[in-house]
Amino acid sequence: MINLLLSFIVVVLQAAPGSAAPQQGQDNPTYVLGPTDVLTIRVLGEPDLTNNYTVDSDGTISFPFLQRVPVAGRTLKEIEALITKLLDGDYIRKPQVSASVATFRSRSIYVLGEVKQPGRYTIEGQTTLLEVIAQAGSFTTTAGPTMNLLRYKEGITGVIAGTPVSPGDPRAAEVVRINIEDLREGRMNANVILQDGDTLFVPLADLYYVTGFVRTPGQYPLRANMTVQQAIAAAGGISERGSDRGITVLRKVNGKDVEVNVKTTDLVRPNDTIKVRQRRI
């Protein structure tokens, strides 16, 4: 269960205050460098060039021979390729360059929508989607089956605005849709590494309604491929006075409310109202 997994992460985070900023995996290929990150750059056989370099506010580092090298908005592999290219020939023949993150900067992540504690979160280090969702208190009971991860079009420079990206915002170049069921099933490709300025938006699920002789009438989030039987079970099941015969659904068809007879194996549609009648005595 996703809530059990998130609860476990919450316990771990509370037990180890520094664990929100794990330092393992500094060589993560998707991490994008930004101001105040500290890089460790090693050039094989060149001890004078091997050092820690802080990314300045303009997104550059001061590197021997090369002066200012723009690294913000690049991954470690891209930085290695850039420095290798700049050094090759004029300074060193076929340099072998490696880069890793010595210290991660503080970053801002926004979590909006159907979570228990939406807002802005400051994180450090390599932080995953699950860790941030855990900090936000997990999902609400009305969360939809898919969340959206939105990223700034301008990359690191767009983050300076300090505001979240919302669906449809022209500043958002990338929208990654993440299936919550994938997280529930432990498919870790859904547990992405977050970047500075990322916005997680968890939309409200489609709803359906159950009325009549069930134990807990009301509105409920609609899940993928949910049947009438499953929808009634979510409402506590049919009460002692209810009947599983003659179940109808009030459904909007061509803009009009139409009451249709359904079987328990039929699929529920968004905004359906399921009516369970009283059994005959």
Q: Quick one: pLDDT at residue 57?
A: 87
Domain that holds residue 167: 2-14+105-202
Q: Which is nearest to 21 in space by CA: 137, 121, 158, 138?
A: 121
Q: Quick one: pLDDT at residue 39?
A: 94
Domain ends where: 160, 186, 202?
A: 202
Q: Which is nearest to 132 in space by CA: 211, 197, 53?
A: 197
Q: Are residues 182 and 243 in the same domain?
A: no
- What is the spatial distance between Cα 130 and Cα 108, in angstroms, rounded to a whole number? 16
Q: Are residues 224 and 95 in the same domain?
A: no
Q: Are residues 111 and 194 in the same domain?
A: yes
∠ CA 37-94-96, rounded to 5°:
35
CATH of the domain at 82: 3.30.1950.10
Q: Quick one: pLDDT at residue 164?
A: 62
pTM of the complete model: 0.60
Residue 159 domain-assigned? yes
Q: Which amino acid is at 13?
A: L
Q: Quick one: pLDDT at residue 198?
A: 87
- What is the spatial distance between Cα 262 and Cα 48, in angstroms, rounded to a whole number? 77
Q: Are residues 87 and 170 in the same domain?
A: no
Q: Quick one: pLDDT at residue 168?
A: 57
Which residues fall within 8 angstroms of residue 23, CB to CB, at 6 or more apart? 104, 125, 126
Which residues fall within 8 angstroms of residue 95, CB to CB, at 6 or more apart? 43, 44, 46, 83, 84, 87, 88
∠ CA 188-71-178, rounded to 5°:
20
Q: Are residues 109 and 189 in the same domain?
A: yes
Q: Are residues 95 and 111 in the same domain?
A: no
Domain ends where: 79, 103, 127?
A: 103
Q: Are residues 118 and 68 in the same domain?
A: no
Mean pLDDT, contiguous 10-residue spans, the chain (281 residues): 44 36 48 87 94 93 93 92 92 92 84 95 83 92 90 52 55 74 79 84 95 96 94 96 94 92 96 94 70
Q: Are residues 109 and 197 in the same domain?
A: yes
Number of continuous H segments (helices) and E segments (strands) in the chain:
5, 15
Q: Are residues 132 and 271 in the same domain?
A: no
Q: Which is nearest to 159 in space by CA: 72, 69, 55?
A: 72
* 3-class state of residue 103 by DSSP: strand
Q: Are residues 65 and 120 in the same domain?
A: no
Which residues fall within 8 angstroms of residue 144, CB to CB, at 6 or more apart? 114, 180, 202, 203, 204, 205, 206, 221
Tally the domains of the chain.
3
Q: Are residues 185 and 213 in the same domain?
A: no
Q: Quick one: pLDDT at residue 7?
A: 46
- What is the spatial distance between Cα 156 and Cα 173, in angstroms, rounded to a whole number? 13
Instruction: Decide if 42 contacts 51 (C-beta within 8 A).
Output: no
Q: Quick one: pLDDT at residue 219?
A: 94
Q: Are residues 246 and 263 in the same domain?
A: yes
CATH of the domain at 112: 3.10.560.10
